[in-house]
Amino acid sequence: MTDELVRERRGAVLIVRLNRPEARNALNSALIDGLGRAVADAEDDPEIRAVVLTAAGDRVFCSGMDLREFAAGGATPSAEGVAAFTRLCRGELSVPVIGAAAGAAVGGGLELLLGCDVIVAADTARFGFPEVKRGLYPAGGGTSIGTRIPLAIALEMTMTGDPVDAHRAYELGLVNAVVPPEKVLDAALDLAERIAANAPLALAAVKELVRLHVTDSARAAERDAELQASVFASEDAKEGATAFMEKRKPEWKGR
43 among known catalytic residues: no
Which is the catalytic residue, given 80, 111, 156, 171? 111
DSSP code of 192? Answer: H
What does the radius of gyration of the chain's CA atoms come to, in whole angstroms? Answer: 18
Q: 200-215 and 217-231 are packed helices; what angle lies between their axes, rounded to 10 degrees? A: 170
Amino acid at 53: L
Distance CA 171, CA 165 (A): 10
Residue 54's DSSP bridge partners are 17
For residue 235, indicate whether it is catalytic. Answer: no
Residue 228 identity: Q
User: Which residues, at least 6 apart from 64, have a Cβ–Cβ distance to it below 8 Å?
Assistant: 26, 27, 106, 107, 108, 109, 110, 111
Q: Which of 131, 193, 226, 246 is flagged as catalytic?
A: 131
Torsion of CA 47, 52, 55, 60, to 10 degrees: 170
Cβ–Cβ < 8 Å for 39, 97? yes
Catalytic residues: 111, 131
